Structure 1
Amino acid sequence: MQTITVPLGERSYPIHIERGLLAKTGEMIREKLGDIAVAVVSDDHVAPLYMEEVVSSMEKVGLRVCSIVLPHGEQTKCLKSLETLYAFLCEHHLTRKDAIVALGGGVIGDLAGLAAATYLRGVHFVQLPTTLLAQVDSSVGGKVAVDLPQGKNLVGAFYQPELVLVDPDSLRTLTDDFWRDGLGEVVKYGCIGDEALFRLLEENAGGGRIALMGVIGEILTHCIQYKANIVAQDEHDTGLRMTLNFGHTIAHAVETCQHYTGMRHGEAVALGMRVITAMTEEKGMTEQGTSARLNRLLDALGMPRQLPAIPEKDLLNAMTLDKKSAGKQLRVITLDKIGVCRIVPTDVDFFQGMTAQKFVQN
């Protein structure tokens, strides 16, 4: 078992990475939190695959368990679902010494995490991420939130889990679209500060998913360690942590305009990275050739190349609701080159012309 610690003083917590780890969930939780009651939150994609194994592991060590299964998809990450979850927790009489366990991807982790942060002013929280996106990104760092009709992640909190269990075997059941969803965030880490990871991806992308799964332990370690280091320095997203939003300004605008029913988040991030890098390279802000190198990798990974048919004015309007904005003012993450990024204060007008074909073509 490999363990990466997110060092936050008294609130530090371990992220354990090991194949077959879901079967040990009960003993890991009991060792960490003692004799408690546990509410497992999952969705109708993940629960049929892993709920029985996880609940059984908890019952074997004497934990009291209740579980709830919600519909899958970004539409579940809303205030109505949060209210449903609160009612479930009340019905099963969870107390402040008990725990909410998120079994699933980023949607379930965000929703269950916000419930944990706010129910009874805070209960224990454990993450069992089962998607690549959740394992490398959303389960690490304590950002929890739900969406509003006006935008993504507009109601949320910073609430760290006390334990994260990453089982790479759960990635074998991912459909290809969920696999690509995670790859977008993996590539992001390579772009902003880990060229060794970027090279690892370049070396293995040609072999497809089988080759990447062969080095999945290295990929997970690179991503989780990088994010843990960032969170330790900037937990509340006031400076350095903002670099993790590379590609996200455009991505969130696309997702908002599609009402979260279009492409996967990681696919939208990939498009955002393509467009912003092409634009900044044309403006002389990014080393020549960076955009082409990024596009080659994203193409090899099967990531989308074309922005959806959304009017540019709608994308620009959506950007004004981005968490990184203040009115028209934006803080945009750009690349100097692969592995080196910076935060650039600018405004929405920076993105004028972003739908031009030249920004999504080599």
Structure 2
Amino acid sequence: MSGPVTVHVGELHDVVVGRGVLDRAVEMLPDGVRQVLLVRPEGFDRYAAAVAGALEEAGLVVLDAPVPDAEAAKTAAVAAGLWSAMGERAFTRTDAVVAVGGGTVTDLAGFVAATWLRGVPVVHVPTTVLAMVDAAVGGKTGINTPEGKNLVGAFHTPAGVVCDLDVLATLPRADLVAGLAEVVKGGFIADPTILDLVEADPTAATAWDSPVLAELVVRKIRVKAEVVAADLREAFRREILNYGHTLGHAVEQVEGYRRRHGEAVAIGMVFAAELGHRTGTVDAALLARHRSVLGSVGLPTTYEGASFEDLLAVMARDKKSRGGTLRLVVLDGLANPVRLEGPDEKVLRAAHAALAS
């Protein structure tokens, strides 16, 4: 990557991808912003401090708002604490939120921005692969409840997103690899070149400073940008981005969110491929390709951690379900995602059993 790349999410917002671009967060804020709520994980201040410095240099007042790490941040109690902090500082509709962190931080901060005074601007500065290619892009926000993941949320388009690839230098390898699940998902649902790049050099795909990873990140952002621009509020087209998520979210919940999101999505994609294979839309080669591509970068392709009954109970509460009918995204051939409604329980059970083999 010779310089920053800007991906347009239709006319909704821009995503800047590059190296050394953290200070670009300032220029994405609308004119008139006086103060900023800076949401970041507790104990994570290296990049947040850099962003805060750029904001303060631009004359803005920064309210530092550390939140718990990972899914523990996405609760009503944490959101309420941020609302209180904004209220105490008299945040108005011309003030803003800036999120610096992973996907849970962008989900939470986006939700807080969407709900404060019925909506204030938010700029995301994602610091993980997962957040760069998925959570920060497109305006989905949400928090969890004991009954499920992301059941409470809102669509709230960010003012902009800044993806500085240099921050990946300090990202633990396991987290980088987990984020690649969302990248690979983009290959299966829309851009097979992503799969070709991973298959050609899995080592480069998992190296934070490689041009291969940079291209993968940009390609996946473009996949999501195209989908979101066509379907902001998930009428159907946007649902294809949930490939692997129905079972993946169930795995996360039954395991108490101890498993990384990307790992769960990888398992969910294999499940979806097994399901498509049993309903006649995924051939043996495409099914095998799921396991080979995901496995080549170190993502899980088997699962024995929960019973079918426990997972089915959670999937039944999935936000894509309608009137008690389970709906999943499957493939009808490579890069052709379709909706599967009300699959027979025997088929679901067989696909689940295949995950153990």
Q: How high is the TM-score relative to the length of structure 1?
A: 0.92
Name the counterpart of 1:4.
Answer: 7
Contact 1:328 / 1:347 at 8 angstroms: preserved in 2?
no
Candidates 231, 236, 240, aligned match of 1:239: 236
Deviation string, structure 1 residues 125-166 (Cα, Å, up to 9, x no partner): 111111101100111111101000000001100000011111
1:39 aligns with 2:37: yes
| Distance (whole Å) between structure 1 residues aligned to residue 230 and residue 69 of structure 2 | 33
How far apart are 1:53 and its partner, in Å?
A: 0.9
Distance between the aligned counterparts of 1:290 and 1:122, measured in 2?
A: 43
Match of 1:214 among 195, 211, 215: 211
CA distance in 2: counterparts of 1:293 and 1:212, whole angstroms: 26
Report the secondary structure of 2:280's partner residue.
Answer: coil
Supply the AA of the counterpart residue of 1:323: K
CA displacement, residues 319-354 of structure 1 (integer Å, 9 cap, x when unaligned): 111011125412211122332222222247241233
Helix, strand or coil for the counterpart of 2:180?
helix
**Residues 3-48 of structure 1: CA deviation (Å, up to 9, x unaligned):** 111124xxx221111211113433x245x43452111000025x32
Confirm or deny that 1:58 pairs with 2:52: no
CA distance in 2, matches of 1:211, 1:84: 34
State whether residues 100 and 126 of structure 1, in contact with CA within 8 Å, keep that contact through their aligned partners in structure 2. Answer: yes
Displacement of 1:209:
2.1
**In 1, Cα distance between the equivalents of 2:187 and 2:356?**
20
Aligned to 1:272: 268
- Separation in structure 2 between the aligned mates of residue 25 and residue 243 of structure 1, nearest angstrom: 29
- Kindly indicate whether residue 86 of structure 2 is the aligned counterpart of residue 89 of structure 1: yes
3-state secondary structure, aligned to 1:33: coil
Separation in structure 1 between the aligned mates of residue 232 and residue 24 of structure 2, nearest angstrom: 29
| Equivalent residues of 2:254, 2:310 under 8 A apart | yes
Matched, 1:177 2:152: no
Runs of 4+ in 1 over 4 A off after TM superposition: none
What is the aligned length?
353
The alignment status of 1:164 with 2:161, answered yes or no, reads yes
Alignment of 1:231-310 (within 5 A): 231-260=228-257, 262-310=258-306
C-alpha separation between the residues in 1 aligned to 2:16 and 2:242?
A: 25
* Residue 206 of structure 1, CA deviation: 4.1
**Once superposed, what is the RMSD of the aligned Cα atoms?**
1.8
Report if aligned partners of 2:24, 2:162 keep a CA contact under 8 Å in 1.
no
* SS of aligned partner of 2:142: strand
Amino acid aligned to 1:36 = R
**Rounded Cα–Cα distance in structure 1 between residues aligned with 2:340 and 2:306:** 25
1:152 and 1:348 map into 2 onto residues whose CA distance is 24
Q: Could you tell me the TM-score, scaled by structure 2's length? A: 0.94
What is the match of residue 229 of structure 1?
A: 226
Q: Please say if 1:19 is aligned against 2:19.
A: yes
Question: Does the Cα contact within 8 Å between 1:320 and 1:327 map onto a contact in 2?
Answer: no
| Partner Cα separation in structure 2 for residue 283 and residue 212 of structure 1 | 41
* Aligned counterparts of 1:185 and 1:271: Cα–Cα separation in 2: 12
* TM superposition shift of 1:212: 7.6
Distance in 2 (alpha carbons) for counterparts of 1:309 and 1:29: 43
Change in CA separation of 1:153 and 1:184 when aligned onto 2, cut-off 3 Å: same
